[in-house]
Amino acid sequence: MPLGERAGDKSESRYCGVETEFNDDMPQLLAYNISSGGFDFVVATLMDPSYRPSLVEKDCGGSGVLPFAGSDLVLSPSQWSSHVVGKISSWIDLDSEDEILRMDSETTLKQEIAWASHLSLQACLLPAPKGTSCANYARCVNQILLGLNSMKLWLRIPLWKTDDDSMDVDSNRLVDSWELWNSFRLLCEHHSQLSVALDVLSSIPSPNSLGRWFGEPVRAVIIHTDCFLTNARGYPCLSKRHQKLVTGAFSHSIQIVLSGKPVHSLPKGSSDLAANHDDSTLDGVQRHPLRSYLDYIGYLYQKMDPLPEQERFELGYRDFLQSPLQPLMDNLEAQTYETFEKDAVKYIQYQRAISKALQDRVPEDKASRMTTVLMVVGAGRGPLVRASLQAAEETGRKLRIYAVEKNPNAVVTLHSLVKLEGWENIVTIISSDMRSWDAPEKADILVSELLGSFGDNELSPECLDGAQRFLKDDGISIPSSYIPMVEETCCVEYGWTCFLDTPRVKSHKDVVHFETAYVVKLHNVARLAPTQSVFTFTHPNQSITKSNQRYKKLRFEIPCDTGSAMVHGFAGYFDATLYKDVHLGIEPSTATPNMFSWFAIFFPLRTPVIVHPGSSLEVNFWRCCGPSRSQSYAYVL
């Protein structure tokens, strides 16, 4: 049964599995661990561990099929699919110096995966590489992946602690787990059906080092019973660092698998901590030995805060690449307008900024007789017009508004809105591109919402510079400035294994798909270094040249305790000042709370770059302008 109910969470992380020993009675194995134990699935060995192809009599009656497994009829196809993850025999070693062992390992690996595929299993757990060299193992797995159906392969990777405070461990373990995984997946060409199952030990790496894994395709975290401590009541519990890892897994749709034998003796006659499952244990019936560990994992899951309403809304957009809107080139549809108009936070911020501007523009003693000319450029279906009128009512100022909109379909809606609200004497609708409109008078305040995810990527600088000619010399622009910002990210889901509405980026052989910026709700990413600002745009633009071409060189430093990582691209944000202290932005550390109009922008790298702890990465950003368009480029050194 699932770990519990958490509002808004429908991910696979609700289901907890258990790693089991070999048992040729699969129905009994499921009944013991699922029906009685409360687990949702088992990670079960499919073949008798004593089986070796080289020891089997070669004469198979002419059929050529070795008797390596039992019948598939003992469970229904749906039971195999939903309750069993296949576990490939742990003895295999495809990089062994022993030729017989190496050949047996390859034969067995292919047989077991073929059998698992025949059973319609959703995933198979591959054993960890036996050493730092895994070329032949990866070669064989890559060959299998090329002919595999939809089944996933989870490569078991021990999460060794290799940072500075762990130098007392066995020297054989002073190998970065991520390096082991990275070398394997490179040899498998970043195949989308190859994922990671992290094998968690009692000591785990630093938070920075762990953070890298949330940018990798981790599907399971295997927690051994010897990772657990004992709390004051005698029940199993986890350290704070382990707890953070588990809750991070829950947040990233990663399943927990418990492994090992019980190492805690529970107090007699007491009930388990946080027993949130229906307990079918009756007097005289033996309780599953790992049930108290499962209950603790369920306790950690249930004590997490429910997903906020905004995150529930954004669930379907997580890690999904979209082309940025081009409102200057394309006329937006009604559904797009409606989505953005629901962002109340954004328009509250705009209303606050307009209120402050009106108060600064018109003294209190002139409020009743002085009219402020306000122009909304890019009025859409009128949300900024409404926010401006509400600001005027709030401050007791008089307004004359020009609503300039180039989309003829939105202009129809604006006319209906003005008539419906009785704004005919206040609002004048202009059906025109702001850059070509000849205004009858100059504005005191110019308001726009042309900001893109990177601030300037929807041509806000060009549009507002073009509209500036009808702003008074001492006029106010809202926004008054904005700064595009970037951070380097490890996010294998995007550049190399993420699916778009078209095939994945990597499957395109042309350059353009890797030199396109995408809008994405970042989730499965590892943020490797703090965000840095790129350019700055200010309005009104008082520069003599008014050129919006920009160039900036940035250097990102990788913390020493992070470990090696692969940079797949750069996440972009913006931070804007609407007016004075009224702020609007999406950079994670300073983001406007509960605002959803913008997701981050992602600049993928055509060739991912491996960075090492303590090293630096230099990136050059250009914003290039032409007569008909502008574009940002990045070049990594």
Nearest to 601 by CA among 228, 366, 323: 323
405 labeled binding residue: yes
Residues with Cβ within 8 Å of 522's Cβ and at least 6 positions away in sequence, in order, are 319, 489, 491, 571, 599, 600, 602
488 belongs to an annotated ligand binding site: no
Sign of CA dihedral 273, 274, 277, 278: positive
579 has binding-site annotation: no
Residue 167 token pair? 């130098």
The position carrying tokens 């095939």 is: 503
Cα–Cα distance, 491 to 570 (Å, whole number): 9
CA end-to-end span of the chain, whole Å? 50
Q: Position of tokens 């950079």?
A: 587
200 sits in the region (left: phi over 0; alpha: psi -120 to 50; else beta) called beta
Q: CA–CA separation, 333 vs 327, rounded Å?
A: 10
CA nearest neighbour of 634 among 568, 583, 582, 588: 568
One DSSP character per residue, 54-105 reads GGS-S--TTS-----S--GGGS-HHHHHHHEEEE--TT--TT-S-HHHHHHH
Token reading at 313: 């809304």
The answer to whether 301 is a known ligand-binding residue is no
Q: Which residues are annotated as catalytic?
A: 449, 458
How many Cα atoms sit within 13 Å of 288 on the Cβ side? 24
Residue 419 CB: number of other CB atoms within 10 A?
10
Alpha helices in 214-370 (DSSP H): 240-251, 291-302, 309-314, 334-341, 344-361
Query: How far is the C-alpha of 12 from the C-alpha of 255, rounded, in Å?
Result: 6
Is 322 strand, coil or helix?
strand
Among positive and negative, which fits the CA dihedral 365, 367, 371, 374? positive
To the question of whether residue 337 is assigned a binding role by annotation, the answer is: yes
Q: How far is CA 185 from the centre of its chain?
A: 20
How would you classify the pairing of strands 532-533 and 471-478?
Answer: unpaired
Max Cα distance, the chain (Å): 105
Rounded distance, CA 453 to CA 221, Å?
A: 34
Radius of gyration (Cα) for the chain, nearest Å? 30
Integer Cα distance of 30 and 36 in angstroms? 9
4 CB-near residues (< 8 Å, 6+ apart): 14, 276, 298, 301, 302
Region of 321 on the Ramachandran plot (φ > 0 left; ψ -120 to 50 alpha; else beta):
beta
Please enumerate, by residue number, every residue annotated as part of a binding site for S-adenosyl-L-methionine. 337, 346-347, 405, 433-434
List, as residue ranges, the binding site.
Answer: 337, 346-347, 405, 433-434
